[in-house]
Amino acid sequence: MYASLWRLLPGPLWLRILLAVVLVIVALWALVTFLFPWLNGFFNTYDVTVDE
Amino acid sequence: MNETRRRARVALRRQHRPVSIIGVLGEIFLTAGVVCFLFLGWQLWLNDLVVGNEQRSNALDLVEEWNSAPTASATPAAPVAPDGDANVEPVDHGEPIVRTAPATAKAFATLYVPRFGAEYVRVIGEGVSLSKVLNNAELGVGHYPDTQMPGAIGNFAVAAHRTTWGAPFRDIGSLRPGDKIYVQTEDGWYTYGYRSLEYVRPTGVDVLQPVPQAPGAAAADRIITLTSCNPLFSAAERIIAYGVLESWQPTSAGAPAELAGTLNAGG
């Protein structure tokens, strides 16, 4: 999968490395902005109140 | 000769090997594992920093709002210099002003705990609903609706997270007897002195009684109770911190000297 992605990247080696780094940063940004806050809604495990 | 070899190598590289399902699955699993660890790092560390900062700047905004409100027209006097005021007789400002509880999720007070950091300040909102108050980048600390308000005889009980969602009470276990817990409202400053910790089961609601753990007893002290989860990263128990009101001063008397740094840092 990652090998195929790497082959899809155009240009010389330095450009491919640059593009790969950019792709990783975009992926991390998407995780932090969309996936993680959404996932967080399912983790109300740390209850802090006392109740009956 | 060299040229042919190079071309052969390039051709080999370009040649698409058949994609194996097992290989792709393996890569997906590895990626999912990495994402899980990233999520934990985000939830337990990075997001706490981001949300904590947001909660702090919201608290400073609220204080700013109070200071610019016409009711607080009296300019806060400069705090007394912290050095050499140990012998100064504290001014008695009389009975503390006690407000009635506001509507659910309304911000009505700010909380300062120097032990949690020199710049620590959080908003206290009404209610302990997770979605409306505790899991919230604007509020973060919630007041138990059936307990008393700041300064009242009885128990002013608040709850907040120890991990995740800004973790306002992350360092609750590091409080030491004598540490100050300051609550500010539009009316003034309530200085509580931290007394002790207690660990109870999640159903230990008697910590919220006007006299904690003594249902029915006649209240005489003005108590603050902080509740959070215990142990860290678990919700098996609750950690409870108690404090007792030591002094009160109206807004016009200025901020307690210990908080001068906190407030100036924000201004």
pLDDT in tens, chain B (267 residues): 567 777 766 666 656 566 789 999 999 999 999 999 999 999 989 999 999 999 999 999 999 999 887 654 444 444 554 554 445 556 788 899 999 999 999 999 999 999 999 999 999 999 999 888 999 899 999 999 999 999 999 999 999 999 999 999 999 999 999 999 999 999 999 999 999 999 999 999 999 999 999 999 999 999 999 999 999 888 899 999 999 999 999 998 889 988 987 787 654
Q: How confident is the model at residue A43, as a pLDDT?
A: 76
Residues of B in contact with A27 (CB under 8 A): none
- The residue of chain A nearest to residue B169, with distances taken between CA atoms, is A48
Q: Chain A: which residues have CB within 8 Å of chain B?
A: 1-4, 7, 28, 31-32, 35-36, 39-40, 43-52
SS3 content of chain A, % helix, strand, coil (to 5): 65, 0, 35
Kindly determine whether residue B227 and residue A32, on different chains, have CB atoms separated by under 8 Å.
no
Please compute, for residue B183, the number of CA atoms within 13 A of its CA located in the half-sphere on the CB side.
34
Q: Which of B140, B110, B116, B111 is nearest to B128 (CA)?
A: B140
ipTM of the complex: 0.89
Closest partner residue to B238 (CB to CB) among A2, A3, A50 is A50
Domain CATH code at residue B125:
2.40.260.10
> Chain A interface, mutation test: which of B35, B209, B233, B242, most A Cβ atoms within 10 Å?
B35
Between chains, do B205 and A45 touch, taking CB under 8 Å as contact? Answer: no
Interface contact B38, partner A, CB < 8 A: yes
How much is the pLDDT for B84?
47
- Give the CA count within 13 Å in the CB-facing half-sphere of B10: 7
Number of domains observed in the structure of chain B: 1
Contact B158, B227 (CB under 8 A): yes
B265 touches chain A (CB under 8 A): no
In a domain, B22, yes or no: no
pLDDT of B68 reads 87
CA distances from B129 to B32, B44, B111, B262 (A): 32, 21, 18, 28
Report if residue B35 sits inside a domain.
no
What is the number of CB-based contacts under 8 A between chain A and chain B?
78
**For residue B257, is it within any domain?**
yes
Which regions of chain A are under pLDDT 50? Answer: none
- The pLDDT assigned to B78 comes to 47
Instruction: Record the pTM.
Output: 0.83
Q: Which of A2, A40, A48 sits opposite B227 (nearest CB)?
A: A48
Q: Quick check: is B137 in a domain?
A: yes
B19 touches chain A (CB under 8 A): yes
Contact B162 A40 (CB under 8 A): no
State the residue range of the domain holding B117. 47-266
Interface of B with A in 41-80 (CB under 8 A): 42-43, 46-47
- d(C-alpha B208, C-alpha B15), whole Å: 71
Q: Which of A39, A45, A48 sits opposite B159 (nearest CB)?
A: A48
> Alpha-carbon distance B267 to B8, whole Å?
68
Domain residue ranges in chain A: 2-40
Interface residue B236 vs chain A (CB under 8 A)? no
pLDDT for residue B142: 96
